[in-house]
Amino acid sequence: MSGAAAVRYAFCAGRDGGRKVLRDGPALAPVPTGRVPRISRLLALAHRYQGMLDRGEVASMADIARLGRVTRARVTQIMDLLLLAPDIQEEILFLPVTESGRDAVTLGEMRAVCAVAEWVEQRVRWRRLISVAPVGVPM
């Protein structure tokens, strides 16, 4: 009995609270680097605020402003993102992460898109905006 045997088993190391643990299976996918663009986070926040209003958790946007310790004007700017065409909102929510530096699209730039009520014109302005955006923004 002098032969050697090799055993292969897939496992990955992780954490459970503060303890290190070994789990069955291949390694977990790496966490992406970078950050979610601010405009994407603001649109998600606008949807959250609208949900709070719909459920009656807050009575008005003024209440949201008080809770968030921001001005009513700022809440209005954020809520205006909900007036965008649904396909534009989807594109904003799925913008690629910003690896470093300035976000490709800012709230100030989006205000020009939100300023028009017609979705067709919004789409024209959105396409124009992202056509000059830095590399990495889908067109």
Residue 134: predicted pLDDT: 62
**How many angstroms from the chain centroid is the CA of residue 137?**
14
Question: Which band of pLDDT confidence, cut at 50, 70 and 90, is reported for residue 35?
Answer: very high
Residue 33: predicted pLDDT: 83
Residue 12 inside a domain? The answer is no
Residue 72 inside a domain? The answer is yes
pLDDT tens for each residue of 78-102: 999 999 999 999 999 999 999 989 9
Q: Structurally, how many domains does the chain consist of?
A: 1
Q: Is 93 helix (H, G, I), strand (E, B) or coil?
A: helix
Residue 83 inside a domain? The answer is yes
pTM of the model: 0.74
Residue 117: predicted pLDDT: 96
Q: Measured between alpha carbons, how far is 43 from 50 in angstroms, rounded to an integer?
A: 11
Q: Which residue has the tokens 């032969």?
A: 3
Residue 70 inside a domain? The answer is yes
For the chain, percent of residues with pLDDT exceeding 70: 89
Question: Which band of pLDDT confidence, cut at 50, 70 and 90, is reported for residue 31?
Answer: confident
Residue 5 pLDDT exceeds 90? no
Which residues constitute the domain of residue 81? 38-95+105-131
Q: Measured between alpha carbons, how far is 70 from 81 in angstroms, rounded to an integer?
A: 17
Q: Is 88 helix (H, G, I), strand (E, B) or coil?
A: helix
Q: Measured between alpha carbons, how far is 111 from 132 in angstroms, rounded to an integer?
A: 16
Residue 86 inside a domain? The answer is yes
Residue 3: predicted pLDDT: 74
Question: Which band of pLDDT confidence, cut at 50, 70 and 90, is reported for residue 137?
Answer: very low
Residue 29 inside a domain? The answer is no
Residue 21 inside a domain? The answer is no
Residue 9 inside a domain? The answer is no
Q: Measured between alpha carbons, how far is 133 from 81 in angstroms, rounded to an integer?
A: 19
Q: Measured between alpha carbons, how far is 112 from 122 in angstroms, rounded to an integer?
A: 9
